[in-house]
Amino acid sequence: MATNLGKALHHAQHEVVQVYSRTEASAKALASVLNCDYTTDVARVAMHADMFVIAVKDAALPSLAQVLMQGREQQLLVHTAGSMPMDVLPTERRGVFYPMQTFSKDKKVDFSVIPCFIEASNEEDRLLLFKMGKTISDTLYELDSENRKYLHLAAVFCCNFANHCFDLGAQLLKLHGNLPFSVMLPLISETANKLNMMPPRQAQTGPAVRWDRNVIEKQRMLLSDMPDLQRIYELLSQSIHNHSMSQ
Residues numbered 103 to 142 that lie near a second copy (CB under 8 A) are 103-104, 106-107, 109, 113-115, 139, 141
Q: How far is the CB of 97 from a second copy (least distance, A)?
A: 15
Q: What is the dihedral of CA 234, 239, 240, 246, to 10 degrees?
A: 150
Which lies closer to a second copy via its Cβ, residue 60 or residue 127? Answer: 60
List binders of a second copy among 222-241 (CB under 8 A). Answer: 222-223, 228, 231-233, 235-236, 239-240
**What is the C-alpha separation between 237 and 209, in angstroms, rounded?**
8
Amino acid occupying residue 31 = A
What are the beta bridge partners of residue 35? Answer: none
Please give the backbone phi and psi of residue 96, each rounded to the nearest 5 degrees, phi first.
-130, 135
Each residue 192-221 as x (binds a second copy by CB under 8 A) or -, in order, gives xxxxxxxxxxxxxxxxxxx-x-xx--xx--
Of the candidates 67, 92, 156, 217, which one interacts with a second copy according to CB under 8 A? 156
Q: H or E stretch including 218?
A: helix 213-222
Of the candidates 22, 127, 150, 217, which one interacts with a second copy according to CB under 8 A? 150
Pairing of strands 52-54, 116-120: unpaired
Q: How far is the CB of 95 from a second copy (least distance, A)?
A: 18
List binders of a second copy among 9-28 (CB under 8 A). Answer: none
Which lies closer to a second copy via its Cβ, residue 87 or residue 146? Answer: 146
Q: How far is the CB of 189 from a second copy (least distance, A)?
A: 6
What is the DSSP track for 69-118? HTT-TTS-EEE--TTS-GGGS-SSSEEEEEE----BTTB---GGGS-EEE
Q: At 187, is the secondary structure helix, strand, or coil?
A: helix
Q: Does 190 bind a second copy (CB under 8 A)?
A: yes
**What is the C-alpha separation between 117 and 138, in angstroms, rounded?**
12
Q: Does 176 bind a second copy (CB under 8 A)?
A: yes
Q: How far is the CB of 238 from a second copy (least distance, A)?
A: 8
Axis-axis angle for helices 227-245, 162-175 (nearest 10) = 130
Of the candidates 130, 143, 225, 245, which one interacts with a second copy according to CB under 8 A? 143
List binders of a second copy among 84-103 (CB under 8 A). Answer: 100-103
Of the candidates 73, 134, 164, 217, which one interacts with a second copy according to CB under 8 A? 164
Under a CB-based contact definition with an 8 Å cutoff, are residues 175 and 226 in contact? no
Binding residues with a second copy: total (CB under 8 A): 96
